[in-house]
Structure formats: C-alpha cells, structure tokens
Amino acid sequence: MSETFAVAADLFGKGTKPRRYKVTDPLPVQGVKVRIRSLTEREVSEYQAQTIAKKGDGLRTDRLKDANRRLIALCLVDGDGNPYVTPAMQTEMADWDAADTGFLYDECAKHCGLNKSDIEDLVKNSEATPAVA
C-alpha cells in the first residue's frame, strides 16, 4: 500500500483557510461558556515576539507576566468572530480567579496548537549565554 503525500499545489496558493472556532465548556468559577478562535502563524509569532526585548537581548518581564492574558485576549471572540477583549479588560482579567484564566489559557493554547512548554522554551532560548573564558 503506497502513501500519498501532499505536493506544493496542495498546500500553497489556495488562499487562506477559514479560522476554526470552538465553544468551551463553562468556566470553572464564572460558569459561562465562551467562543474562541484559532490563530494564524503570523498572530502566534507576533504574540511570542512581544515577550522579547526590543533589542532581542532578553525578555520583557512585564510581557511575560501577562502572556496568558494576552493569548486569551487574542482568542476570545463574539458570535461573529470578532475579538472583543480591550486592553482594560485584559488588565481586569489579572484579578479573576486563576481557575478561570488557567482554564481559558489551556483551551486557547490547545485550540491554537500551542503548549505550555512554548513559553518555557521562549524563556530558555532568550536567556543570556554565559561567556566562555
């Protein structure tokens, strides 16, 4: 039995695929369901790049601290697929019960094809390398 593999025409030049959407189970504390969307590779790269210092020589700890909330804000959408989390809402999210934000982060990451080690890898790859004597 032979396997069939994709060729360039199968993957490129067909335009963009529609986003994927998911309605979550109820949040553990607030008890409401939310709708999340998938992200493009560009959106994921920009999300990750916001954690790196402008000169590329370390991490922006302020951006690392709010990384979970930033991912949630990118993914939460209304019924028409429009993101609705404003910067003020993102700040307010810091005072939510961690069970809700942890649940949402996990749902968003899984739906977007990310995992928790992605941020850990970003941190490891951005740490200063000791000088060799």
Look at residue 61 and tell me if it is in a domain.
Answer: yes
CA distance 7 to 91: 45
Is 17 strand, coil or helix? coil
Look at residue 8 and tell me if it is in a domain.
Answer: no
CA distance 49 to 43: 10
CB 30 within 8 A of CB 21: no
Look at residue 102 and tell me if it is in a domain.
Answer: yes
Show the domain range for 38.
26-123
Look at residue 9 and tell me if it is in a domain.
Answer: no
The pLDDT of residue 131: 47
The pLDDT of residue 132: 47
Is 24 strand, coil or helix? coil
pTM of the model: 0.78
The β-bridge partners of 37 are 21
Number of domains in the chain: 1
Strands (E) in 21-115, as ranges, are 21-23, 35-37, 76-77
The residue assigned the tokens 């529609």 is 18
Look at residue 128 and tell me if it is in a domain.
Answer: no
CATH number reported for the structural domain that contains residue 44 in this entry = 3.30.2220
CA atoms in the 13 A half-sphere facing the CB of 64: 14
The pLDDT of residue 58: 60
Look at residue 80 and tell me if it is in a domain.
Answer: yes
The pLDDT of residue 129: 46
Q: Mind listing the pLDDT tens digit of every residue in the chain (133 residues)? A: 688 999 888 888 877 778 999 999 999 999 999 999 999 999 999 988 887 756 655 656 666 678 899 999 999 999 999 999 999 999 999 999 999 999 999 999 999 998 766 665 655 555 554 444 4
Look at residue 38 and tell me if it is in a domain.
Answer: yes
